[in-house]
Structure 1
Amino acid sequence: MKVSTFAYNCGQGIKNIKRNKLFSLASIGTIAACIFLMGVFYAIIANFQYMVKEAEDSVCVTVFFNDDVTEDQIKDIGDKIKKRVEVSRIKYTSAAEAWDNFSKQYFKDDLDLAEGFKDDNPLKSSANYEIYLNDLTMQDALVSYLKSLDGVRKVNDSPVTANTLTDFAKMVGYISVAIIIILLAVGIFLISNTVMIGITVRKEEIRIMKLIGATDMFVKAPFIVEGIIIGLIGAILPVIVLMGIYQKVIVYLMSQFQTFTSQVSFISPATIFSFILPMALIVGAGIGLTGSMITIRKHLNV
């Protein structure tokens, strides 16, 4: 396509928007509302999934050993566990470390009393590995393997916690997909109506252009440009608004609910908007292009 032709199509697309100001503004507003809601839902869902992932990362399987197992055998067991695909990392706590942690927590006001147990550790059978998983759905397979190892006395796992977190993450994902599909459908419908008005207004002009030999693409291009421009404008505006709101909400939550926010963390604005901005532009342009093409195919006989 020549530069002059491209410039003409862009100019005609902008003129179409100006001719149908009311419908164009309605389409821009609706797309902006759709993308704003998509951004809000994405921010909420992404943070929920982030919190769920943090919670999943804190869930571990704990392995205890038989009393007659030596330190070398425990090390061998640890080496085998590390090689499992389900395992993200493991943490070893010896019996002495377990007692030290226990005494600091429960005898913090009278550590001299804890010294009385120094030579007779009540937790001598508490040496263990804490095993953190790459994916909680793999927990059952790992637990079965751990129970089959020689020297393993007991395996503590959290099936209810694992299943709850996994199911919650899936539910959030399904809901987000459903909402996004609905919002996209609404946006495409409104763009289609706006472009259809433009075609109706320029019907006589289009007929004359065809009579003097204009190509199909030359006739269609301004309407395609119109849809894409409306989509892009409708994408940029809500992202700017959403960025300011997101930053203020995070600051507010961090300051007003310190007890809660000390237990969880949020995705930084820079991280979340590095995804939202390109997503909004692609979705906005995509809605505009799709709506234009649907309307052109249906109402523009060229």
Structure 2
Amino acid sequence: MRISTFWYCLKQGIINICRNILFSLASMATISACIFLFCLFFAIVANVQNVTQVAQSTVGITVFFADDLPEERILSIGDEIRSWGEVREMEYVSAEEAWESFKSEYFKGVEDLAEGFADDNPLAGSASFTIFLNDIGDQDQVVSRLQLIDGVRKVNYSNSAVAGLSSTAKIVGLLSAVIIGVLLAVAVFLISNTISVAAAFRRQENEIMRLIGATNYMIRAPFVVEGVLLGLFGAMIPLGGMYVLYQKAVLFINERYQVITGIFAPLPLQEIFPYMTGVAMSLGVGIGFLVSFFTIHKHLKV
């Protein structure tokens, strides 16, 4: 494409936007609302997934065994559990290790008291496995299987926290998809109407251009540029707002909720904003291009 052709298409696209300013502003506002909500839900889902991943690496299932179960049988059960597809890793703590850990924590400075137990380990039946899963949403299923194993005395796990994290991620994802889908449909409708009005305004001019030999490309390009500009502006506005809003939200959470952020810190802006920007810009420009291209193709059969 020659530079002069590019500037001509850009100029005509801007003229079309200014000529139909009300439709153009409505289109940009709808795209902006759609992309702002997308960015908002993107940030929420990314942080919920981050919390879930942290939980998957730190929240485990602890399995205790019957007091009279031999260690060989316990290790055999461990090999069986380790082969399950849901299991990411396991940690084994023998009764002796549990007692040594207990002594170092609760008899610190008074080790002589612990010596009174001699070879009589009061935690003889405390051998256990701590199990970490690939997907924390599989916890209930894994716990049910563990409870059916002969020799398993008790299974400790955090049911409510895990269920809450898993269900929150799914609900937020579904809700965001529905709302964004509705707004996308409205944006498509408004951009299509904007391009149609612009085509109607320039119908006579387009017919003259066709008669003097202008190609389909030259006639249609300004309208496609118009759609792309509407999508571009509609994406840039919410991205700028989201950049400021997310920074302030992270700062507020870090200052007011230090107990929570000590465990689950919000994702830094620089980690999610590049991905957010790429998807939002592609979404805005893509909608503008596709809608304007197909709309003008239908209206300019002159």
Shorter-chain TM-score range: 0.7 to 0.9
Deviations 1:45-84 (A, max 9, x none): 3212322333344432222234455555544544443333
The 2-side partners of 1:131 and 1:243 are apart by 39
Instruction: Tell me which residue corresponds to 2:271.
Output: 271
**1:115-147 deviation digits (Å, cap 9, x = unpaired):** 544643322111111001101343455446545
Aligned to 2:169: 169
2:265 alignment partner, SS class: coil
Does the CA-based 8 Å contact 2:195-2:223 persist in structure 1? yes
* Contact 1:239 1:277 (C-alpha < 8 Å) held by counterparts: yes
CA distances 1:68-106 after superposition (whole Å, capped 9, x unpaired): 555555445444433332111112222234345556666
Please tell me the residue identity of whatever aligns with 1:249: A
2:231–2:284: 8 Å Cα contact kept in structure 1?
yes
Partner Cα distance (1:62, 1:113) in 2: 29
SS in 1 for 2:63: strand
- In the TM superposition, residue 191 of structure 1 has moved relative to its aligned partner by 1.9
Instruction: Please give the residue correspondences for 1:19-98 in structure 2 after superposition, counting only pairs within 5 Å.
Output: 19-71=19-71, 74-98=74-98
1:270, 1:33 → 2: CA distance?
23
CA RMSD across the alignment: 3.1
Give me the whole-angstrom Cα distance separating, in 2, the residues matched to 1:256 and 1:161.
Answer: 22
C-alpha separation in 1, matches of 2:162 and 2:256: 30
The equivalent residue for 2:191 is 191
SS at match of 2:88: strand
The answer (yes or no) to whether the contact 2:52–2:136 under 8 Å persists in 1 is no
Query: More displaced, 73-82 or 59-68?
Result: 73-82
Q: Shift of residue 201 of structure 1? A: 2.0
User: Quick one: distance in 2 between partners of 1:118 and 1:299?
Assistant: 93
Task: Write the distance in 1 (CA, Å) between the matches of 2:12 and 2:72.
Answer: 79
Task: Compute the TM-score of the two structures, normalised by the length of structure 1.
Answer: 0.84
Instruction: Tell me the SS of whatever aligns to 2:124.
Output: coil
In the alignment, residue 24 of structure 2 is paired with which amino acid? S
Which residue in 2 is equivalent to 1:218?
218
Q: Distance between the aligned counterparts of 1:175 and 1:239, measured in 2?
A: 21
Query: 2: CA distance between counterparts of 1:245 and 1:140?
Result: 37
Deviation at 1:164, TM superposition (A): 4.2
Q: What SS does the aligned partner of 2:266 have?
A: coil
Kindly tell me: are residues 160 and 261 of structure 1, through their superposed partners in 2, closer, same or farther at Cα, counting changes over 3 Å? closer
Change (3 A) 1:139 1:261: closer
Alignment partner, residue 124 of structure 1 = 124
Matches of 1:85 and 1:12, distance apart in 2: 60
The runs of 5 or more residues in structure 2 that have no matched partner are none
Structure 1 position 272, deviation (Å):
1.0
Q: Secondary structure at the match of 2:276?
A: helix
The amino acid across from 1:92 in the alignment is Y
Q: Amino acid of the residue matched to residue 127 of structure 2?
A: A
What does residue 233 of structure 1 align with? 233
Q: Secondary structure at the match of 1:301?
A: coil
Q: Secondary structure at the match of 2:85?
A: coil
After superposing the two structures, state which structure 1 stretch, 160-169 or 267-276, moved more. 160-169
| 1:25-55, Cα deviation, whole Å (9 max, x unpaired) | 4433332232222212221232123223333
Q: Report the CA distance shift for 1:168/1:33 in structure 2 as closer, same or farther (over 3 A).
A: closer
Query: What is residue 9 of structure 1 aligned with on the other side?
Result: 9
| Whole-angstrom distance in 1 between the partners of 2:156 and 2:281 | 48
Do the aligned partners of 2:89 and 2:132 also contact (CA within 8 Å) in 1?
yes
Aligned to 2:135: 135
1:209 is aligned to 209
Separation of aligned partners in 1, 2:298 and 2:46: 38
Q: Gaps (5+ residues) in structure 1?
A: none
Are 2:220 and 2:297, in contact at CA under 8 Å, matched by a contact in 1? no
